[in-house]
Amino acid sequence: MALYSTPEMSFSPPELSFSSLLLSASPPPPTASQPAALDPAKKRKAAEKPQGASRRKCWYAAKKNERTALEEEIRRLQADKELLELPAASRERALRKQEEESARLQQAVREQQLGPLAFAQSAISNASRTEDTPLKKYIHLSANPDERAATFRELKHCMASDAERYIGERMRFLDPTAELAQFHQYRLPNGDFCFKCLDVIPLPGYKSVRQVYERLQNFFFNMEITWTEKSGDVMLRQGEFETCEPDVASQRFLTMTPSGIQIESNTLHVSKYNYASLDSGPREDGSVGDSAVLALSTVDVDELYPYMPHDRVRQDTTGAVLLKAYPRQASSMFGESSDGGDADSSVLVVATQVYFSQMHNSRLATHPDCTSGAIFGRNFCSRTMLGVDS
């Protein structure tokens, strides 16, 4: 039974032609009883009429809107009426059916999490238990200075571009500004201890990418000093700081742990700073302005400085740090930093790091200092050098 009904309304607009519209839009000609010009009082009233006044809706449009609103109200009331007319038992059955359907959906989601999703995570974890990383390059440095310099120049651009591409794909479905730390450690069948990590570190205390980039450059040029101060181990640089051109260098370090174990490493470092053009807009990931990347890869063979596996533990280190700036949200949860940076800066600088460390198995590598040193290297490189608490 309907609550109420509305009378059927029929409306037939008068037939109009283009000529009749034109004629109706023009004023009628003056007659003898009606002067052609308005008197001063009417002119004053017309001048006082507010400019830009909205035109009154035509009658049939107003009635059409009114009828549409009434029909929607009727449909809503009819649905409420049908629900109220259901007996209490029917309402309970309907609610019980909804609860059962919700429970089935929750169980289906749980089965997906316990089955296919867990299977996929297991497959990914197993695939990542390797001794290689996509950023790893095979580097053979000759004893000839010219050949060494040629190797530096050849690797400079490909290492930087591969680092940018890999981190970009690694972060494709992640929030690029949300703090994140993912890591796992494992042993290879040959006994090598491996450690991998991904770190996303927002840096609210910095004003620009350039400021962070210069700090990282200073860290790499003085790594042995900072490492010795922070870790408790003694790190020494072997040989001179070797470089053939800006933004690429080879560094060799010897670390002495408190237990007396010597750990040697030989890495090639490259860096690249990307200046943004004045008319460039946001990138695909939302970042703006300048960006920078720093990458390093282990030297496999160095004819001038060969590895000494019988006396030292070899540590291979591969990784990269990508620096980008993102527009700062109005409601930022970050405060001021002890570095004196301006927390009200219009951008938030974010450092994204991927890190891989491999301790080669030997009779010396079984000591806990070796594994703890590899893990500390991740914390040190990603946070200590940036002045961020882990």
Q: What is the pLDDT averaged over residues 163-176?
A: 94
In this structure, which amino acid lies at residue 277? S
CA distance 194 to 185: 6
Burial class (CB within 10 angstroms; exposed 0-12, middle 13-18, buried 19+) of 193:
buried
CA distance 345 to 208: 9
Share of the chain above pLDDT 90, in %: 32
Q: What are phi and psi of 156, to 5 degrees?
A: -60, -55
Chain segment 237-263, per-residue pLDDT in tens: 887 767 777 888 898 999 888 778 888
At residue 224, does pLDDT exceed 60? yes
At residue 80, does pLDDT exceed 70? yes
pLDDT at site 4 = 43
pLDDT at site 273 = 95
Q: What is the pLDDT averaged over residues 68-87?
A: 84
Chain segment 192-220, per-residue pLDDT in tens: 888 888 999 999 889 999 999 998 888 88
pLDDT at site 8 = 44
Res. 2 pLDDT band, cuts 50 70 90: very low
CA distance 346 to 327: 6
pLDDT at site 85 = 73
Q: What is the pLDDT averaged over residues 45-70?
A: 66
Residue 315 CB partners (closer than 8 Å, separation 6+): 263, 264, 265, 357, 358, 359, 360, 373, 374
User: Could you tell me the CA-to-CA distances from 290 to 22, 160, 165, 281, 304 in Å, in that order?
Assistant: 62, 15, 16, 11, 38
Res. 14 pLDDT band, cuts 50 70 90: very low
- Whether residue 348 contacts residue 330, with contact meaning beta carbons closer than 8 Å, is answered with no
Q: What is the pLDDT averaged over residues 102-119?
A: 89
pLDDT at site 379 = 58
> Which segments of 48-144 does DSSP mark as H helices, in order?
59-85, 88-112, 118-127
Chain segment 324-351, per-residue pLDDT in tens: 999 987 334 444 443 444 444 689 999 9
Q: What is the pLDDT averaged over residues 30-40?
A: 49
pLDDT at site 344 = 47
pLDDT at site 351 = 94
pLDDT at site 209 = 95
pLDDT at site 378 = 55
Instruction: Report which of residues 285 and 329 the model is more confident about.
Output: 285
Chain segment 305-325, per-residue pLDDT in tens: 999 988 899 999 999 999 999
Per-chain mean pLDDT for the chain: 78
CA distance 81 to 75: 10
Distance of CA 82 to the CA centre of its chain: 50
Neighbours of 383 (CB within 10 A): 17
Strands 262-274 and 288-298 turn out to be: antiparallel
Strand-pairing partners, residue 325, are 288, 349
DSSP per-residue letters across 204-271: TT-S-HHHHHHHHHHHHHTHHHHHHHHHSSEEEE-S--EEEETTEEEEEEEEE-TTS-EEEEEEEEEE
At residue 138, does pLDDT exceed 90? yes
